[in-house]
Chain A
Amino acid sequence: MKKLLIILILVLNLFCIISIPVLQAKTDFYENEYPYETYTVDYEGNLTFTQTAYTPVGVLNRDVSLFNPEDIYIKDDLVYIADTGNSRIVVMDYNGNLVRLVGEDELSQPTGVFVSEDDYLYVADKLNKLVYKYDLSGNLIRVFDRPTEPLFGQNSPFTPLKVVVGSGENIYIVGDGSSSGVIQLNYDGSFLGYFGVNLSDKSLIERIAEIFVRPGVYASNIPPSPTNITINNKSLVYTSTPNTTSALKKLDVNGNNILTTINYNEEQNIVDLSVDDLGYVYAIYDDGLIVEYDPNGNLLFAFDVVSSSSNVLGLVQTPSGIQIDEYHNIFVIDKGKSEIVTYQPSVFTNLVHEAVNLYNQGSYEESTILFESILSQNDNFALAHSSLGKAYYQSGDYDLALEEYYKASDIDGYSTTFWKVRDIWLSNNLGTVFSLILIFFFFTYVIKLVNKKTLILSPVNQKIEKLKQHPNYRRFSLLFFMMKHPIDACYEIKHEKRSGLITASVLIVVLFIEYLLYLRFTGFIFTGAEIQIRLGVEIFKYFSIIFLFIFANYLIATLSDGEGFLKDVYISVAYSLAPIIILLPFYILLSNVLTLNESIILQILSLVMIIYSLVLVFISIKEVHNYEIIQTIKNLLMTIFTMLIIALLIFIIYVFGSQLIDFLKSFFKEVLFRVFN
Chain B
Amino acid sequence: MFSIRLIKRATFIFTLLIVLSITFVLVKAQDDYVINDELPNRDNILDETYLASNQFTQEDDLTIVNNYLSIPSTYLKIAENSNYILYMEETSYAIRVLNKNDNFIYGSSLSTMDDNLDNFNTTWEGIVNSAVTIKYFDYNDDTGIFTTKEESLLKDPNSSSTYQLINQGYKASLHFGESNISLTLSVYLDDEYLVVDIENDSIEEKGIYKLRSIKVFPFLGTVYANSIPGYIMVPDGSGALIRYQDIGIHNEIYEFRYYGQDNSIQTALEYEAKLAFPVSGMIQGINQHGFISIIEDGAAHASLVVSPAKNNLKYYYSYNEFDYRSLYQTPLSESDSANRTGRLVIEDDINGCDLVMKYKFLSGNQANYVGMANAYRDYLINELNVEEKINEENVKVLIDIIGSETKEGFIFDEYLQMTRINEVQSIIKDLLESDINPLTVYKGYSSKGLTSMGMVTNGISSKLGSNQDIEDLLSYVDENNVDLFFQIDPLSVYEDAKFSLYSNATKRINQNFLIDQGFTKTKYYIEPNSVEQALLSSIENLEKNGLTNYALDSIGYFLFSHYPDVNSSIDRSKVISIYKNLLDSLNKKIIIYQANDYLLKYTNEYLLTPMNSSRYRIYSDTVPFVPYVLQGLMDKYSPYQNFNSASRVELLKMVDYAIAPTYLLTWASAYELQATELQQIYSSSYNTWKERIKSDYDFIYEGLNVVRSASVVSRTYLSAGIYEINYDNGVKLIINYTNRTYDYLGINVEALNYKVVSDDA
Contact = CB atoms under 8 A, between A and B. Distances in A.
A51 B271 contact: no
Contact of B616 (A59, A311, A346, A379): A311
B719 to A, nearest CB: 14
Interface string B665-689: 0000111001100111111010110
A31 interface: yes
A533 B410 contact: yes
Contacts of B610: 33
B269 interface: yes
B268 A24 contact: yes
B41 A327 contact: yes
Contact of B411 (A35, A329, A373, A535): A535
A535 B49 CA distance: 56
B41 A35 contact: no
Nearest to B615: A313
Contacts of A19: 334, 337-338
Interface string A495-521: 000000000000000000000000010
A541 interface: no
B53 A49 contact: no
A468 interface: no
A21 interface: yes
Most chain A CB atoms below 10 A, which of B45, B330, B683: B683
Size band of the interface chain A makes with B: 35 or more
A56 to B, nearest CB: 7
Contacts of A582: none
Contacts of A329: 44, 46
Given A29-B608, A33-B639, A673 B330 contact: yes
B332 A669 contact: yes
A665 interface: yes
B55 interface: yes
Most chain A CB atoms below 10 A, which of B43, B270, B411, B685: B270
A23 B523 CA distance: 10
Contacts of B513: 20
A51 B669 contact: no
B48 interface: yes
A501 to B, nearest CB: 27
Given A50-B682, A51-B643, A350-B41, A312 B33 contact: no
B413 to A, nearest CB: 13
A30 B680 contact: yes
A464 B558 CA distance: 74
Given A26-B516, A347-B40, A533-B410, A379 B682 contact: yes
A48 to B, nearest CB: 8
B680 A666 contact: no
A49 B50 CA distance: 25
B647 A22 contact: no
Nearest to B611: A33
A30 B687 CA distance: 20
A348 interface: yes
A30 B35 contact: no
Nearest to A666: B333
Given A19-B337, A22-B517, A378-B682, A346 B647 contact: yes
B558 to A, nearest CB: 9
B30 interface: yes
Interface string B268-301: 1111101000000000000000000000000000
Interface string A635-677: 0000000000000000000000000001001100110110011
Contact of A313 (B53, B237, B518): B53
Nearest to B269: A24
Contact of B35 (A50, A373, A378): A373
Contacts of B685: 376
B584 to A, nearest CB: 26
A308 interface: yes
B615 A370 contact: no
A314 B49 CA distance: 13
Interface in A59-96: 59-60, 62, 77, 94-96
Contacts of A50: 682
Nearest to A353: B41
Most chain B CB atoms below 10 A, which of A26, A59, A95: A26
A307 B270 contact: yes
Most chain B CB atoms below 10 A, which of A31, A49, A377: A377
A33 B337 CA distance: 31
Interface string B8-42: 00000000000000000000001101011010110
Interface in B176-207: none
B515 A23 contact: yes
A510 B594 CA distance: 56
A662 B52 CA distance: 55
A676 B343 CA distance: 14
A258 to B, nearest CB: 30
Nearest to B46: A57
Interface in B627-643: 639-640, 643
A22 B514 CA distance: 9
A49 B35 CA distance: 20
B111 interface: no
A338 to B, nearest CB: 13
B157 to A, nearest CB: 35
Contact of A52 (B512, B594, B644): B644
Interface string A300-319: 00000001110111100000
A96 B270 contact: no
B46 A94 contact: yes
A157 to B, nearest CB: 39
Interface in B677-711: 678-683, 685, 687-688
Given A377-B683, A379-B671, A26 B268 contact: yes
A349 interface: yes
B645 interface: yes
Nearest to B638: A33
B611 A95 contact: no
Nearest to B565: A676
A623 B267 CA distance: 66
B646 interface: yes
A23 B333 contact: no
B516 A349 contact: no
Contacts of B515: 20-23
Contacts of B267: 23
Contacts of A311: 252, 616-618
A593 B405 CA distance: 34
Given A23-B268, A31-B680, A52-B644, A59 B49 contact: yes
Contacts of B643: 30-32, 51-52
Interface string A429-450: 0000000000000000000000
Given A342-B49, A351-B35, A35 B269 contact: no
A29 B681 CA distance: 11
Contact of A49 (B268, B337, B680): B680
B594 to A, nearest CB: 8
A345 B515 CA distance: 36
B161 interface: no
Nearest to A661: B334
A23 B337 CA distance: 9
B35 A347 contact: yes
9 contacts: A23-B268, A27-B274, A49-B680, A311-B617, A312-B616, A346-B40, A347-B646, A379-B670, A676-B566
**Closest CB pairs A-B (n = 8):** A58-B53, A346-B645, A666-B333, A21-B337, A379-B671, A376-B688, A313-B615, A348-B645
Given A57-B49, A57-B50, A347-B41, 18 more contacts: A23-B267, A24-B268, A26-B516, A27-B274, A30-B664, A58-B49, A58-B55, A95-B49, A311-B618, A342-B46, A344-B46, A346-B645, A376-B683, A376-B685, A669-B331, A669-B332, A672-B566, A677-B345
Interface of A: 19-27, 29-33, 35, 42, 48-52, 55-60, 62, 77, 94-96, 307-309, 311-314, 327-329, 342, 344-351, 369-370, 373, 376-380, 407, 520, 532-533, 535, 662, 665-666, 669-670, 672-673, 676-677
